[in-house]
């Protein structure tokens, strides 16, 4: 378990007059919620489409001098001294490139730089500038992967560690070339690369007393695809060819029975965003969706206003959505399943809606982000910044095939280049800084990954010693969860304390349901005060009422007993909830449980039912109830795992935040001592915006 934080309602259209008013007002939303409003806007107009805390640190080891540094970006690129006026050494970032025949290039039209370089005039002389992570091949004169530049990245938001037990730590990370392509185990052996792990500078793998192990684990793959469907794309004669490439790309990700799962989500964007499909393993449904778009693009176009390109907002949504689904997978499996995520952005132009480049999201994400520019109108700078793990300029249909093919290989290999390494730590106090790097071969540049953990969470019992055998036996008595990712549960179950069980309620776990009524929802429960005592109210689950019975639905302590999402308590009777776009006074009135200001800067304009607030979305206390599995903090945040510091029950996966004297932490079980979890994986897969 990690010690540090990570990180169906019915759909109705609003009355047309109200919808027009809301649409006009929403155009004045501030920049802070710009990405969210562009995603929500299609929900507030008339039609809907129905379809089935780790950081990375740069540690650059320079090549032998003399060095001339030339690069197409701010990344680390090195070059040896040029001893020829018309060609450079194979490590160079700039060269005169390759011309047709023996003709000395006079301008960029005469120069071939390859798919990952571009020609620029340097002092009036045409030269190839390679993308970050590439170098010029001396023989061919084109840009190829620089195998000497390697990066390590954590694939989740912190170190794993055992709580109240032996001092064992586990690290889940990936190894890539700086160009973004995977270094698989076979490639690592070919290059004779070895991992390094240090704690506060002390070697953890190569000392005589070191105990460590690398595990082979299946890794699930989550792929988010955002495709530009602005009118310049859909009205192009080659649009069917683009959809064919997209369909082939998605089909290539499909796995045979018994292989690790792959989930794909599809987003369409133009001026606004529309989630065409949530993350799914149903590849036939995805192919049918693409066929429907090809048959009649106007159905989706009506939802996204094809006159613009919200490129930055689509990128931000891809990062948030992929992070959300992976965090939910962590929660429902209690970290028992390893996952990796990739966002693929396909566009033919630049951002035209005055969006903001999501720089912070790009810097913070542990997922891969790849961009494909499908026309000559794209901005190379934006394309490279967004596609920080791979940027492809593919202006023609022939280029599309090559670009999608290369992206396919990367995405398929990302799970294979993922490593789970466990070791015994000697730390007993503080929060050690763990750094994972790599050495060997011809590596000249290493970008390590860094995280911290809480050494004081280990047991202080001298009998709890960490031995190598621990890593072999960690999963013996577990169905799921665990330090070494012991597995997940069937889709209709969830994992708690190493056991798979059906979602249960606070009536079983004994947790207080105040501020977290969702812990009562399984089996039709609701949260109410039971036998209140002055200043010591106790909230417990009780059966919900039937919609429209007319029975009293509110206790003297204002606890609603109506079935959530479909009804709320109006005066003294359960009545149907309000659709998105309706004026409201509290979140319980809305299907989405999100009743807030359209423009937070102009509160006088009123509040309305907005779409459900999911992990990564903004929220306002007492106005927004985040999706099940999340709480309202700085935004809607994933509930916290065992040992993470908390302030209230509703912040914890278990629903239980306990006082241990010096601080409050999330407990893995409730006051009753019974393990409990409150929602299943299939519930989340069924949800769509």
Burial 457-466 (b: 16+ CB within 10 A, else e): bbeeeeeeeb
The DSSP H or E segment spanning 244 is helix 239-252
Q: Give the model's pLDDT for residue 53.
A: 37
Do 135 and 159 lie in a common domain?
Answer: no
Residue 403 covered by a domain: yes
Do 155 and 249 lie in a common domain?
Answer: no
Residue 523 zone, left/alpha/beta (φ > 0; ψ -120 to 50; rest):
left
Beta carbons within 8 Å of 496's beta carbon, 6+ residues apart: 334, 654, 668, 669, 675, 676, 677
Do 334 and 251 lie in a common domain?
Answer: yes
Do 137 and 157 lie in a common domain?
Answer: no
Do 407 and 286 lie in a common domain?
Answer: yes
What is the rounded distance in angstroms from the CA atom of residue 652 to the CA atom of residue 334?
A: 12
DSSP state of 521: T
pTM of the model: 0.83
What is the rounded distance in angstroms from the CA atom of residue 574 to the CA atom of residue 581?
A: 21
Q: How far is CA 543 from the centre of its chain?
A: 36
Residue 7 covered by a domain: no
Residue 187 covered by a domain: yes
Residues of the chain with pLDDT under 70: 1-104, 530-537, 547-551, 554-560, 670, 688-689
What is the rounded distance in angstroms from the CA atom of residue 654 to the CA atom of residue 4?
A: 16
Query: Domain range for residue 76?
Result: 56-146
Do 154 and 247 lie in a common domain?
Answer: no
Number of domain units in the chain: 4
Q: How far is CA 365 from the centre of its chain?
A: 7
Do 294 and 439 lie in a common domain?
Answer: no
Q: Give the model's pLDDT for residue 67.
A: 29
Residue 280: give its domain's CATH number. Answer: 3.40.50.410
C-alpha angle with apex 169: 650 to 332, nearest 5 degrees? 35
Do 399 and 353 lie in a common domain?
Answer: yes
Q: Which of the listed residues 99, 117, 146 is the one where a domain comes to its end? A: 146
What is the rounded distance in angstroms from the CA atom of residue 124 to the CA atom of residue 128?
A: 13
Q: Give the model's pLDDT for residue 19.
A: 35
Q: Are 631 and 646 in contact (CB under 8 A)?
A: no
Q: Give the model's pLDDT for residue 37.
A: 47
DSSP secondary structure of 106-168: -SGGGEE--TTEEEEEETTEEEEEEPTTEEE-TTT-SEEE-TTEEEEEESSSS-EE-SSSS-E
Q: Angle at which helices 283-295 and 239-252 pack, to 10 degrees?
A: 180
Q: Which of the listed residues 378, 413, 448 is the one where a domain comes to its end? A: 413
SS (H, E, C) 176-212: EECCCCECCHHHHHHHCEEEEEEECCEECCCCCCCCE
Residue 487 covered by a domain: no
Residue 582 covered by a domain: yes
Do 650 and 675 lie in a common domain?
Answer: yes
Do 567 and 583 lie in a common domain?
Answer: yes
Q: Are 214 and 332 in contact (CB under 8 A)?
A: no
Residue 614 covered by a domain: yes
C-alpha angle with apex 269: 264 to 272, nearest 5 degrees? 130
Bridge-based pairing state of the strands 368-373 and 338-347 = parallel
CA atoms within 13 A on the CB side of 168: 27
Q: What is the pLDDT of residues 322-339, one digit of tens each?
A: 999 999 999 999 999 999
Q: Give the model's pLDDT for residue 573.
A: 83
Residue 511 covered by a domain: yes
Tokens of 405: 């093919």
Tracing tokens 């090809």 back to the chain, one arrives at: 294
Q: How far is CA 377 from the centre of its chain?
A: 28
Closest CA to 413 of 672, 185, 629, 196: 185
Do 303 and 437 lie in a common domain?
Answer: no
What is the rounded distance in angstroms from the CA atom of residue 399 to the CA atom of residue 374?
A: 8
Residue 429: give its domain's CATH number. Answer: 2.60.40
In this structure, what is the dihedral angle of CA atoms 115, 121, 127, 131, given to the nearest 10 degrees?
-40
Q: Give the model's pLDDT for residue 689.
A: 61
Residue 3 covered by a domain: no
Do 208 and 230 lie in a common domain?
Answer: no
Q: Which of the listed residues 86, 118, 146 is the one where a domain comes to its end? A: 146
Q: Are 633 and 644 in contact (CB under 8 A)?
A: no
């Amino acid at each position: 378990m990690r010690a540090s934080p990570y990180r169906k309602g019915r759909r109705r259209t609003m009355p047309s007059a109200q919808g027009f008013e809301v649409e006009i007002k929403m155009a004045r939303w501030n920049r802070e919620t710009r990405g969210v409003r562009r995603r929500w806007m299609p929900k507030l107009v008339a039609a809907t489409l129905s379809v089935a805390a780790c950081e990375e640190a740069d540690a650059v080891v320079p090549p032998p001098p003399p060095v001339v540094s030339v690069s197409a970006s701010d990344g680390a690129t090195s070059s040896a001294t040029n001893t020829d006026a018309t060609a450079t050494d194979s490590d160079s970032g700039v060269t005169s490139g390759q011309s047709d025949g023996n003709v000395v290039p006079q301008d960029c039209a005469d120069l071939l730089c390859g798919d990952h370089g571009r020609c620029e005039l340097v002092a009036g002389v045409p030269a190839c500038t390679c993308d970050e992570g590439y170098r010029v091949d001396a023989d061919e004169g084109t840009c190829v992967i620089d195998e000497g530049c390697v990066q390590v990245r954590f694939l989740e938001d912190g170190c794993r560690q055992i709580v109240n037990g032996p001092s064992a730590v586990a690290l889940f990370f990936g190894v890539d070339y700086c160009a973004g392509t995977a270094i698989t185990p076979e490639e690592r052996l070919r290059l004779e690369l070895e991992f390094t792990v240090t704690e506060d500078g002390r070697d953890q793998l190569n000392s005589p007393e070191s105990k460590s192990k690398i595990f082979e684990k299946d890794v699930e793959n989550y792929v988010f695809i955002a495709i530009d469907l602005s009118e310049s794309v859909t009205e192009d004669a080659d649009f069917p060819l683009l959809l064919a490439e997209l369909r082939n790309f998605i089909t290539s990700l499909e796995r045979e029975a018994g292989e690790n799962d792959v989930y794909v989500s599809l987003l369409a964007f133009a001026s606004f965003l529309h989630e065409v499909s949530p993350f799914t393993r149903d590849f036939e449904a995805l192919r049918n969706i693409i066929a429907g778009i090809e048959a009649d693009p106007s159905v989706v176009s009506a939802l996204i206003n094809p006159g613009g390109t919200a490129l930055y907002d689509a990128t931000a949504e891809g990062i948030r959505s992929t992070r959300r689904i992976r965090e939910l997978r962590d929660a429902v499996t209690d970290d028992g399943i390893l996952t990796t995520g990739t966002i693929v952005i396909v566009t033919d132009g630049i951002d035209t809606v005055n969006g903001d480049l999501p720089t912070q999201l790009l810097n913070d994400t542990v997922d891969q982000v790849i961009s494909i520019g499908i026309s000559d109108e794209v901005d190379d700078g934006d394309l490279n910044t967004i596609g920080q793990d791979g940027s492809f300029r593919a202006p023609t249909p022939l280029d599309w095939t090559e670009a999608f093919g290369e992206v396919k290989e990367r995405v398929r290999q990302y799970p294979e280049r993922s490593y789970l390494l466990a070791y015994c730590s000697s730390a007993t106090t503080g929060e050690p800084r763990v750094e994972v790097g790599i050495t060997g071969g011809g590596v000249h540049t290493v970008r390590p990954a860094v995280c911290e953990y809480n050494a004081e969470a280990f047991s202080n019992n001298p009998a709890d010693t960490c031995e190598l055998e621990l890593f072999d036996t960690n999963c013996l008595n577990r169905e799921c969860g665990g330090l070494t990712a012991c597995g997940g549960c069937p889709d209709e179950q969830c994992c708690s304390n190493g056991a798979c069980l059906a979602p249960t309620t606070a009536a079983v776990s004994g947790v207080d349901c105040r501020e977290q009524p969702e812990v009562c929802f399984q089996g039709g429960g609701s949260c109410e005060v039971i036998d209140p005592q002055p200043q010591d109210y106790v909230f417990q689950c009780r059966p919900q009422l039937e919609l429209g019975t007319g029975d009293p639905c509110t206790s003297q302590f204002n606890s609603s007993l109506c079935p959530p999402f479909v009804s709320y308590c109006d005066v003294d009777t359960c009545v149907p909830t309000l659709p998105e776009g309706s004026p409201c006074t509290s979140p319980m009135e809305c299907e989405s449980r999100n009743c807030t200001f359209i423009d937070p800067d102009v509160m006088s304009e009123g509040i309305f039912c907005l779409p459900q607030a999911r992990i990564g979305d903004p929220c306002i206390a007492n106005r927004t109830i985040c999706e099940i599995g999340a709480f309202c903090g700085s935004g809607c945040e994933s509930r916290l795992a065992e040992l993470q510091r908390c302030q209230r029950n509703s912040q914890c996966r278990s629903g239980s935040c306990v006082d241990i004297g010096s601080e409050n932490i999330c407990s893995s079980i409730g006051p009753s001592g019974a393990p409990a979890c409150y929602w299943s994986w299939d519930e989340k897969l069924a949800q769509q915006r």
